[in-house]
Chains A and B, each alone.
Chain A
Amino acid sequence: MLTCDSYLSPATLEEAFEAMAANAGRYRLVAGATDILPWAREGRAGDVHIPVLIDVAGIPELNRREVENGKVRLGAATPFQRFIDNKALMAALPVMPFVAVWFADDQIRESATIGGNLVNASPAADGTPPLLAHDAEVLLAARRNGTIHHRKLALSKFVEGPGRTALGEDEILLEVQCAALPKHGVAFEKVGQRRSLVISTVCVAALVELDDTNRKLADVRLAVAGIGPVPRRMDKIEAALKGQMPSARLLEDAAAIAGDLVASRTRQEYRREVVRGFVLRALVNAARRAGANDQLITPELEARYA
């Protein structure tokens, strides 16, 4: 059971930093709270007392959702459900609806935030691979000597290990920023133990853009979670595919690389098999959704892998 002595809900960033300074060393930030509440139960952290909970979900700076000039600014307190019902976000981050629809359930998605997902830094976080594929950056803020300082960091540098990030003790994650990729075909593959309310065993996000002639894979972005301590891009596979015309041989060779990336502590053999299959399926599905014709993704490829 989670207990606290006070629960603060700052309305502004200023108030949040105020509260953090006044309670240094005895607070925790919460946003959706959908992870911390189940965590503080028997079998996991057990009974947990945190003197001060500071709820940052209502701060305007964490609730921006802008798509302008091909750039996305995504407030950290954005609930996952917005990826399913906010049309501008869906167009700019076309993979996110596929991520969100497999994430928890409709009800939890209304509370659970993208920022919370990144900060918790689970090795199996669903939100991280798609944003890695977008080359996302995170915008962090801290108040030092009365002034608010911002810094930007690549998401790939932000997540450091299981449950570990580069977020400083006095920092708040404000935003995720990335390029909009409205023309990319997308796919998100996930396996867990059931359909709803399930944490990924392995998940793969794929974004593919075709060249103008519909003959080659102009851009390929692949990221994976659940096969090691942190979610990661699969850059070797991307390099092997970029500028190529997909054939069964090419895809198989590329997917074969995926298995070697598995560094999990458990079920390695299973994960190797799954990630290989996911890469194949995600590539074919993403290329199809990018508008690949039958010459590029032959019906045979589709039948075999999709």
Chain B
Amino acid sequence: MPELKFEATVNGRKVAKSVKPFSRLLDFLRDDLNLTGTKEGCGAGECGTCSVFVNGTLVKSCLVPAAKARGTTIETVEGLARSGELSVLQKSFHKTGASQCGYCIPGMVMAATAAIRANPLVSNDEIKERLGGNICRCTGYSKIFEAVELARDVMNGARPATALLEDEVDEGQFIGANVRRLDAPSKVSGKLKYAGDMLMPDMLHVAVLRSPHAHARIVSIDTSAAESFPGVEGIVTSADVPGVDGFGVFVQDQPIMARGKVRYVGEAVAAVAADDELTAKRAAALIKIVYEPLPGLFDADEALKPGAPVIHDYAPNNVTKHIPIRKGDVEKAFSECDLIVENDYETQQVEHAYLEPEAGLAYVDHDGVVTVISPSQNITHHRHMLARILAKPINKVRFIMSPVGGGFGGKEDMIYQGMLALLAMKTGKPVRLVFTREESIASTAKRHPARIHYRSGFLKDGRLRAVSLRMVSDGGAYGLSTEGVMRKAAILGAGPYDIPNLQVDTIGVYTNNTPSGAFRSFGALQTQFATETQMDIAAEQLKLDPFEIRRINIMRNGAVTHTKQKLGSVSIARVLDALEAVSAWEKGAPAPQRGETRGDLGSEGARRACALDARFGERAEAKLKTEVA
């Protein structure tokens, strides 16, 4: 294939290289120039982690064919602080704590730079619009907007340059103080290397072949055509696992790669290491697998029915974990209640969508230590599991945690590190795998979807006397964190309320859906949604203010939870008071007919609806008309 001659000025230096004709500007910057401050979060123009300037115009480099950028002047995040000193914007990101995981930050800094260059007096609304193409999953954006506003003001002299310095705090007084993050400079400058940015000499690239079936027996795997594909250095399947093949946070039910059968669409079946990513991908497509499809199970309630297909032999009833809690006499209490609120709730699967797709680098070091570098949220546990899987003593397995470009629980599971270890051992070379966004969404754990049947019994005065709660949760094809999520849901599910009679059952089941795993709040969110909705419905029916019905029932200092934990101090009363104040809540029972007469809507501090009118629309129109005239 004829290469494309590429000449450009990048961060002030002339570069001349040959690139593949289909290279994207992003590939050129990362692979040919090793400018890894420019990230790939999605490859589809959605996330903005790859934003760079081309001839002074901000573009998403994953959507720009490299050929288009020939002869241009390119500026990447590395170019902003070429002098060694961070730019005003980078300093303000540091100051306000705008960088958390940091993976979106180089792109965010570039977009913010573009906004201020386009309009040095850019309004707060216009900042939001101009950053609209860049996604962050950690911050909720507030600190990022704060940073851009601060930089704008400093650059315009509206605030002194000293505003960029760390706030002074009294010796040792850090609570309530604004402390700058130590790792922020490396993030705002794009210098921090995430696993997918790391290189080693002789490094191979990995592609994974994944199951197209939700449930199927693997009849045969033929890797011969792929093995003989030029550039391929090694292929692994479950047959290459030397030890006890199984990982999982609570139950080690998941093999490194599918063993004997596949249990969900996207499950890894084989992995190929080759000279480059494209070769690995093309070789993986040559692996022939014969499947015998099995009946699939796609609904949590169906999984509990007698005669349902069995996903794991060890769990013939498809139950991953059932957590029952009993306190008092629920049925007796219900019979004495004035109001029983009974409803069914359902929550959905949710993807974590951290900006950094999974990535890892593995090698066997000079002492024979199998080493895996990855953004694992649980490296010590991974190390123990991998030692067992590889049948090696623990001192011959090492995990290095690379910066986590967002995890939210989604990187707790050892989904791909085992394949990398096996390939590093088989090829004797360092191997690196970087997930595509699609691969990340298809193959990694999600928030547990849940169905909840909920009964709450109240007295007329609002006292909650009994709760019965049954949650059936789809854990998907493997156990991962399901047991812990069920425990947490059971412990916290009934909310921060003192309930004398309680019956809780949380049941995680196996299906052939994408596995569910850890996700912020870890099971509590699903039940809280139901619990708080029950409270609101009860408030409406009992004609009580929603804050009041909660205050009647909350736990107080010294309360004992239904799992027998004595609580020293309980802050829910203060939380309710603060919430009532900031929301400008109008006291009274919920009454939908109040509608537009509500005074608390649109009050100070309430956010207005989404709009794109900082540059156009009614507010900007007068300005526009004058400019056009």
Contact = CB atoms under 8 A, between A and B. Distances in A.
Interface of A: 1-7, 9, 30, 32-34, 37-38, 41-43, 47, 53, 55, 57, 84, 87, 90-91, 97-98, 101-102, 104-108, 110-111, 194-197, 289
A264 to B, nearest CB: 24
B57 interface: yes
A134 B154 CA distance: 45
Contacts of A107: 48, 51, 58-60, 111, 114, 133
9 contacts: A3-B22, A6-B21, A37-B24, A90-B628, A97-B615, A106-B129, A110-B58, A197-B132, A197-B133
Contacts of A7: 4, 21-22, 65, 67
A215 to B, nearest CB: 23
A289 B616 CA distance: 12
B68 A5 contact: no
Nearest to A38: B44
B62 A37 contact: yes
Nearest to B61: A107
B390 to A, nearest CB: 30
B202 interface: no
Given A4-B22, A42-B438, A105 B44 contact: no
B278 A3 contact: yes
Contact of A105 (B2, B4, B133, B436): B133
Nearest to A30: B65
A55 B65 contact: yes
A33 B64 contact: yes
Contacts of A195: 132, 610, 612
A2 B24 CA distance: 10
Nearest to B63: A34
Contact of B43 (A41, A87, A196, A197): A41
Interface in B122-146: 129-130, 132-133
Given A108-B133, A197-B46, A42 B436 contact: yes
B2 A5 contact: yes
Given A2-B22, A41-B43, A84-B615, A9 B67 contact: yes
Given A2-B22, A5-B1, A7-B4, A33 B132 contact: no
Contacts of A111: 59-60, 63-64
A57 B68 contact: yes
Contacts of B621: 289
B167 interface: no
Contacts of A6: 1-2, 21
Contact of B57 (A30, A110, A197): A110
Given A1-B278, A7-B67, A107-B51, A37 B58 contact: no
B45 interface: yes
Nearest to B114: A106
Nearest to B441: A43
A35 to B, nearest CB: 9
Given A7-B22, A9-B68, A87-B627, A1 B438 contact: no
B439 interface: yes
Interface in B7-26: 21-22, 24
Interface in B58-86: 58-60, 62-65, 67-68, 70
A111 B62 CA distance: 12
A196 B134 CA distance: 9
Contacts of A97: 615-616, 624
A108 B132 contact: no
B59 A196 contact: no
Given A7-B21, A97-B615, A110-B59, 10 more contacts: A1-B278, A9-B68, A34-B63, A42-B439, A101-B616, A106-B111, A107-B51, A107-B60, A108-B63, A196-B133
Contacts of A47: 281
What are the 8 tightest A-B residue pairs by CB atom distance, in nearest-first order? Answer: A105-B133, A196-B132, A38-B44, A42-B438, A7-B21, A7-B67, A3-B22, A34-B63
Contacts of B2: 5-6
B133 A106 contact: yes
Contacts of B627: 87
